[in-house]
Structure 1
Amino acid sequence: MTEVAQASQVLMPLKKVTALGGGHGLGRLMATLSFLKNRLVGVVATTDNGGATGLLRQSHQCIAWGDIRNCLSQLATQPLAAELLNYRFKENSPLQGHNFGNLLLHALDEVSPRPLDGIQLLSRLMRVNSRVLPMSETPTDLLAETSDNIRCFGELRVDAMTTMPAHLSLSPQVSATPEVIEHIYASELIVLGPGSLLTSVMPPLLVHDIQQAVAQSSAAIIFIDNLVAEQSPAGRISCEQRIQWVEKHLGGSKINAVISNHICSPLEIPVFKAKADTHIPHRHCESSLLVAVAEAVKHIRA
């Protein structure tokens, strides 16, 4: 039996896995674990205010669709479907700067009772078996405050900060999508990351009822660090400091295992390594990430 097959066998008995994050990182993790099908749930950050997503949010006061679209495109089994979702209109188009997948999700939201209904319809049309859920169905933004009380509003400004914020919150504070809480309570494993710490991993944990659900859940928690230091304040602190930052927002819960290629000492938490994609060095190789997650789960169970 191959190493990948053995890893799949270790994770197959899990009844429910919830992954929290955003952007390319959550999509890559979900694609890696997609064999779990409807037992895998992705909780996606909805605070992005840049690029095509930012354009839609400015004009329609909606949740951020970009990270949701990114996850769906990476879970799509048909390459053309993924390409269609990620299609960006050219400069000579009246829709210049917009992304087709974002517009499609927004249109589905406009004709649906709630944002989740549109996401589920698109998931069915694309035959995506795993569930993709927005952290909240209400628009909100990141708000960071420095130690000298300077406020940075929105993901773009938070990413541009030169040092880690003293405080990070949502403005306004919002409630979680109800299904998110349901799945967290039912989960045996919660995975945080990979992705930008402040703008992908942290936003779902800033929703109070998500933080409370994680704290009250009996699930094991794995944190996946980025392969390459990100271009943000979080990329300039140590692995240990990133873990401490996350744990401050887990409502008293602790991370049980870490996947990181960085030096993470002194740590009492077991650390496992995963290789990079040979074509995209800052993204995890799916097979190597799968093996690392399985190794972490085995260690936690032992």
Structure 2
Amino acid sequence: MKQPKHKIVAVGGGHGLGRVLSALREHGELVTGVVTTTDNGGSTGRIRACQGGIAWGDTRNCINQLITEPSIGSMIFEYRFKGNGELDGHNLGNLMLTALDNLSIRPLEAINLIRDMLKVSTHIVPMSEHPADLAAQTSTGEVIAGETDVDELPEPPARLMLEPVVPATKEAVMAIQEADLVVLGPGSFLTSVMPPLLLPEINRALKQTQAKVIFIRNLGKEHGPAGQMSLKTMLNWCERSMGGRGIDLVLGPDIDEELGDEHQQVVADLASANHQWRHDRDKLSQSIEQILLTC
């Protein structure tokens, strides 16, 4: 008997979201990745500084991890320049997305053109199509702007915000509304998981959705201020950003005793054999498939 098809939304950025999407790629177009667009470091930051626009790095990373058919196109998309000139460190995929964005009406059109070229069926949607930066208010009331500066704070911020306040992408909101499962994490908590949750439309969609919401834990302690936050605090931040809606399940390598009975916890071996801090695609896929059986 065929298993029912589920619509899945994964929210986050960088390597963590890419890992989840690659674990779910067998579900094809039933999966939507809602990608953080606030990065201001590295190649992405340099492009934003001179061209403006949203941050492309996390989107490029997700697409890279979803490529199943190596080709000249995929090699070009993944190429990073080296040398002493202005191109040093730039990823060609970031430049391609920037160019296509300039030629398109919407950033989402640029992403879809790349998806078609690289035969990626999973939907990739930026959290917003309008440029914004992540900002944090410290315990002293000082406001720090920029994702890279937030990551360098000596302690967790009192709160996070987006500057300016921008609208969420309507396709992201619709995907959450229609989802059977929403996945938060893994990844950098403050700079990858949280930014999409700061958008009011995504906040409301997560509060109202009938989907089961799960949180996938990191396998190692984060560097930076998020590394000082307990799992319980992270979950509270997420739930507050979802208008008080609770997280249904936490997937991780062990039981966190501090959570008590507040959240259902599922323990699974998720670590890659080569890198204990990296989630193994197959193990992650198997764990999520088991959770889907309860949706």
* Pairwise TM-score range, normalised by the shorter structure: over 0.9
Q: What is the count of residue pairs matched by the alignment?
A: 290
Residue of structure 2 equivalent to 1:190: 182
Deviations 1:136-171 (Å, cap 9, x if unpaired)?
000000010012112111110111112111110000
Query: 5 Å matches for 1:239-254?
Result: 239-254=231-246
Change (3 A) 1:33 1:165: same
* Residue 171 to residue 243, structure 1, CA distance change in 2 (3 Å): same
% same residue = 43
- 1:193-214 per-residue CA deviation (whole Å, 9 max, x = no partner) reads 1100000000000011011111
SS in 1 for 2:241: coil
Structure 2 residue ranges without an equivalent (≥5)? none
Residues 255 and 265, structure 2, Cα contact 8 Å, conserved in 1: no
Partner of 1:21: 12
Q: Aligned partners of 1:193 and 1:20: how far apart in 2?
A: 7
Q: How does 1:219-258 map to 2 (within 5 A)?
A: 219-258=211-250
Partner of 1:5: none
1:183 Cα deviation after fit: 0.9
SS in 1 for 2:258: coil
Distance 2:189 2:202 in 1: 17
Q: CA deviation at 1:15?
A: 3.1
Gap regions ≥5 residues in structure 1:
1-8
1:280 to 2:275 alignment: yes
Match of 1:271 in 2: 265
Residues 234-293 of structure 1, C-alpha deviation per residue, up to 9 Å, x if partnerless? 112222222122111111211011112254223222222232112233210111112222
Q: Indicate yes or no: 2:286 matched with 1:291.
A: yes
Segment drifting more, 39-48 vs 259-268 = 259-268
Deviation per CA, 1:27-57: give whole Å up to 9, x if none.
Answer: 1100000111000000000000000000000
User: Letter of the aligned partner of 1:130 in structure 2?
Assistant: T
CA–CA separation in structure 1 for the residues paired with 2:74 and 2:185: 22
Question: Which residue of structure 2 aligns with residue 52 of structure 1?
Answer: 43
User: Does structure 2 retain, via aligned residues, the 8 Å contact 1:48–1:141?
Assistant: yes
CA distance in 2, matches of 1:67, 1:55: 14
| Structure 1 stretches of at least 4 aligned residues deviating more than 6 Å after TM superposition | none
**Structure 2 CA distance for aligned equivalents of residues 230 and 83 of structure 1:** 31
Aligned AA (2:241): H
Contact 1:46 1:135 in 2 (8 A): yes
What does the per-residue CA deviation read over 1:89-124, in whole Å, with 9 as the maximum and x for residues that have no partner?
111344122110000000000100111101001101
Instruction: Assess if the C-alpha contact under 8 Å between 2:6 and 2:30 holds in 1.
Output: yes
